[in-house]
Structure 1
Amino acid sequence: MRISCRSPAAPPLVTGAADAPTLGGVSFASASAGEQETRTVRGTLPAGSPDFVYVPVEVPAGVREIKVSYSYDRPSVPTGTPGNALDIGLFDQRGTDLGGHGFRGWSGGARTEFFVRADDATPGYLPGPVQQGTWHIALGPYTVAPQGLSYELTVTLTHGPPGETPAPSYPPERAVGRGRAWYRGDCHLHSWHSDGRRTPAEIAALARAAGLDFINSSEHNTHAAHAHWADAAGDDLLVMLGEEVTTRNGHVVALGTDPGTFVDWRHRARDGVFGRFARRIRQTGGLVVPAHPHAPCLGCAWKFGFAEADAVEVWNGPYTPDDEMALAHWDALLVASVREGLGWLPAMGSSDAHRDPDTVGLPRTVVLADDLTRRAVLEGIRAGRSYVAESGRVSLSFTATGGHGEHAGIGERLEVAPDSPVTVRLAVAGAPRCTVRLVTDQGVLFTGGPLPVSGSGAVEWRTTPSYAAYVRAEVRHETALGPLPGAMAACTNPIFLGPR
């Protein structure tokens, strides 16, 4: 039996605290097993609406499944004016408090409907019992046209036995490695559990084909994919788990967290709570990595500062001008760190691949780790023992040597006297006709090349710590734009020179 009714249009923001405004909602009566009840609610969000609003749904006892579908208008707007875009997610009877105890899933704008029940859920949502109480549909008006955003929500409850929730199975934290070695990985990827189009199995196959040793699950604002990676991992591929925390003031990759870790995204820099969620990432074993900090997309520019960051993504997907800006900003942070005697922030790169033709492993972070384990890989990234390469063809060896045989590699310090001679050596493979640049706190102090068509070559440069506090390497493609540098083929973290 199907019971249906339509609720009147919901008035805007009728109740709720400032940090969790609530719209008019819907309620359901009890029903017999197998029966369905449907409610439809409409409303309009004005321009300038809060980042997130909530539609309460009163769920009675005996519900097996909750299903939600939605639509909204997309009116014409003048060129340069944002139109309508509305994200959606779900919180259960445990509430919508910041921290996400009631979180049951998020699909952003990637889906127009979803369901949740004990034994299954739409990708991006968490299976589990549909318990009695006040649930909330979370609406995220990403952009609202000047004339407002009119939406329609349809909620269907199916009554019956709840079924059993499967115990989650997570990928192992270790793969077969080579001991202390350089391992290649892509730490920013999206599957169909958020707005990607590939399954975990398809991503894993592409990672293997690209010669990657590790990857990281990083769905937008949900950890629902964590329990779906076990079959994709294997002795040859380490799968780490995380989330891309997609706030309205920038995105951050929670890299390599414990299985089942959820990190809330419903805050801005002005709220002063980012440190709380950065600590959660670290407490669950992960790293805090601001993603594409200068990307031009709305809400992507990073506004939380870097005091809580463990690394920063300076290269995201095919190399573009916003990556050049991220690299320059990161280099300025390096200069400040050596001048002020502060700790430094390592750089990394990832593909952010979502769908064809996005290339998994373009770029990839190449990490010197003690073994192919979650802990060892994260420690290598945190220590800056890494470089970024555009493909598996490109490899680097970058070292600094003192006059008495002292030696340091990427992310390390060559502790010699300020006026001691230092020889910096860079060997490159897989980068035909590319130019080599050595960059210090004083700027670019060495340029060499182009490399031969074989793509292999080596350069040496001599300096002292008093002249260069650090040195890092860039390998760049040819350019037709005169003095502007070409697109990146590879870049390293620095080697620091001189006493601490």
Structure 2
Amino acid sequence: MRKDAQHPIRRTDIHRRALLVTSAATALTLNGVSFASATGSHDTRTVRGTLPTGSPDYVYVPVEVPDGVRELHVSYRYDKPAVPPGTQGNALDIGLFDERGTDLGGRGFRGWSGGARSEFFVRADAATPGYLPGRIRPGTWHIALGPYTVAPEGLAYEITVTLRYGAPGATPRPSYPPERAAGRGRAWYRGDCHLHSVHSDGRRTPAEIAALAREAGLDFINSSEHNTHAAHAHWAEHAGDDLLILLGEEVTTRNGHVVALGTDPGTFVDWRYRARDNRFGHYAREIRRAGGLVVPAHPHATCIGCNWKFGFGEADVVEVWNGPYTPDDEVSLADWDARLEAAGRRGHWIPAMGSSDAHRDPDRIGGPQTVVLADELSRTAILAGLRAGRSYVAESSAVSLDFSAVGGRGRRAGIGERLAVDRDAPVTVRLEVSGAPGCTLRLVTDQGTLLTSDSGSVEWRTTPAYASYVRAEVRHPATVPGLPGALAAFTNPVFLGERS
């Protein structure tokens, strides 16, 4: 260790041999920094090191914090060398755990900003967005580093920790948005359940998001910041009789992202595991115990760590359409559709939904949006509608549709329901669409697309023996020969016939 005149510096290189010894673990603790008893107004320490390729997913830098600290401030930087085409460069995420430790699912979590910020602070009365305010208690804190990608020459970093001393302020009591809005009774409600604010890697404030949601004709939204619940206490003033605000998190693992949708206020869901660690089932159950839904997000996205590896056994709903319609959404739609027939026969199928995943301008909130049939505009009713699949997805509030199947004796089933009639009984399927000029209507079954129409409505007659389910798609004209046009809307299925 060497020191300069102002900032004691500790170097913490990880040698390749040491890495091989610890490679079975998903985390590693480095040498850290220690502060003496509080003297003066502040004290600063700097730690430097280099992470090699093959580093663990999470690396922890201990910080020994004395009594009498008013604020903890962290800044960091790391080298970003040029790399050859096709080679991953350096990307280093960062977060913070307090003296209660870094155990999975433990109480020590104090914030996460991923790669969105180069510095943050925590104190009793305030914190950087993405971090939780609270007293700086003495003990061993940990700066969490997430080497997302590492260049061949390694990832050299520098972390500067500043402690400011003095009496702590008062921690504000969190206020959360109400779980019910006025609504329209039993009706179709429009929502966007996956979006980001300044509390993770978004650029919009909660106030700006709420205003844009209202402009987009939405009735509800869901807070879904990456790996932090710090935004939960910042939404209450933006809710109203016309906008229900649900609380959640986008659990961003190295093997896929999952939206924890509509959880209890203040719920933190850990993300520090891969599929091979066999931990996802535990945290999926934690989401449900907190009253929320488990929603795999953009399961076929091509970004590093985005492709879904956990299987769908724990999913309540799956996000098939994410943001502007792209080929990976088409793959997600096909993959979801391929599971419908067998799942429908067993009676346990996974509904689909769509969300904007909006981060910043020009990302469009409500593009797409999920339209849910619910008994009222409340957290309980909206989640029940989503879980049951009583929903469709539309590119905007301009697009509306009515889709149902009718059998003998006046039996009728809507989206997400089952028309329980004999396998040879005649069934009439009806679809009416508004707000999608120039689009093609399609009826899709377990055999594929069986009917298309360029008009605003379509009627089709079938039997459960011929089609075990039917769902609707509304598509724009194709722009690439041989490929279907982008979606303007699609529905969850109506199942036909008795359950086998």
Pick the TM interval, shorter chain. over 0.9
Q: Secondary structure at the match of 1:376?
A: helix
Shift of residue 163 of structure 1? 1.2
Q: TM-score, normalised by structure 1?
A: 0.96
Number of positions where the alignment pairs a residue of Structure 1 with one of Structure 2: 490
Q: Secondary structure at the match of 2:409?
A: coil
Provide the C-alpha distance between the structure 2 equivalents of 1:296 and 1:448, rounded to a whole number of angstroms. 33
Shift of residue 35 of structure 1? 1.3
Partners of 1:4 and 1:37 within 8 A in 2: no
Partners of 2:116 and 2:200 within 8 A in 1: yes
1:28 paired residue number = 35
Q: Secondary structure at the match of 2:295?
A: strand
Provide the C-alpha distance between the structure 1 equivalents of 2:409 and 2:342, rounded to a whole number of angstroms. 29
Cα deviation, 1:105-130, whole Å, max 9, x if unaligned, reads: 00000000000000000000000000
Provide the C-alpha distance between the structure 1 equivalents of 2:240 and 2:131, rounded to a whole number of angstroms. 25
Q: Secondary structure at the match of 2:73?
A: strand
2:498 paired residue number = 499
Partners of 1:257 and 1:287 within 8 A in 2: yes
Q: Tell me the amino acid that sits aligned with residue 196 of structure 1.
A: G
After the TM superposition, which parts of structure 1 deviate over 4 Å for at least 4 consecutive aligned residues? 13-17
Q: How does 1:98-137 map to 2 (within 5 A)?
A: 98-137=104-143
Partner residue of 1:9 out of 4, 8, 11: 11
Provide the C-alpha distance between the structure 2 equivalents of 1:18 and 1:443, rounded to a whole number of angstroms. 45
Provide the C-alpha distance between the structure 2 equivalents of 1:170 and 1:482, rounded to a whole number of angstroms. 50
Provide the C-alpha distance between the structure 2 equivalents of 1:350 and 1:212, rounded to a whole number of angstroms. 12
Shift of residue 90 of structure 1? 0.1
Q: TM-score, normalised by structure 2?
A: 0.96
Partners of 1:20 and 1:96 within 8 A in 2: no
Cα deviation, 1:405-449, whole Å, max 9, x if unaligned, reads: 110000000010000000000000000010011111111111111
Provide the C-alpha distance between the structure 1 equivalents of 2:347 and 2:187, rounded to a whole number of angstroms. 28
1:393 paired residue number = 398
Q: Secondary structure at the match of 1:438?
A: strand
**Percent identical:** 75
2:471 paired residue number = 472
1:267 aligns with 2:269: no
Shift of residue 43 of structure 1? 0.1
Across the aligned residues of Structure 1 and Structure 2, the Cα RMSD in angstroms comes to 1.3
Q: Secondary structure at the match of 1:362?
A: coil
Q: Tell me the amino acid that sits aligned with residue 29 of structure 1.
A: A
Partners of 2:474 and 2:489 within 8 A in 1: yes
Partners of 2:101 and 2:107 within 8 A in 1: yes
1:55 aligns with 2:57: no
2:334 paired residue number = 328
Partners of 1:425 and 1:458 within 8 A in 2: yes
Partner residue of 2:292 out of 283, 286, 290: 286
1:276 aligns with 2:256: no
Q: Secondary structure at the match of 1:212?
A: coil
Q: Tell me the amino acid that sits aligned with residue 386 of structure 1.
A: S
Cα deviation, 1:85-138, whole Å, max 9, x if unaligned, reads: 000000000000000310000000000000000000000000000000000000
1:155 aligns with 2:157: no
Shift of residue 216 of structure 1? 0.2
Gaps of 5+ in 1: 452-456
Shift of residue 394 of structure 1? 0.2
Partners of 1:100 and 1:263 within 8 A in 2: no
Provide the C-alpha distance between the structure 2 equivalents of 1:129 and 1:19, rounded to a whole number of angstroms. 29
Partners of 2:324 and 2:368 within 8 A in 1: yes
Shift of residue 373 of structure 1? 0.1
Q: Tell me the amino acid that sits aligned with residue 344 of structure 1.
A: W
Shift of residue 342 of structure 1? 4.7
Provide the C-alpha distance between the structure 1 equivalents of 2:115 and 2:26, rounded to a whole number of angstroms. 22
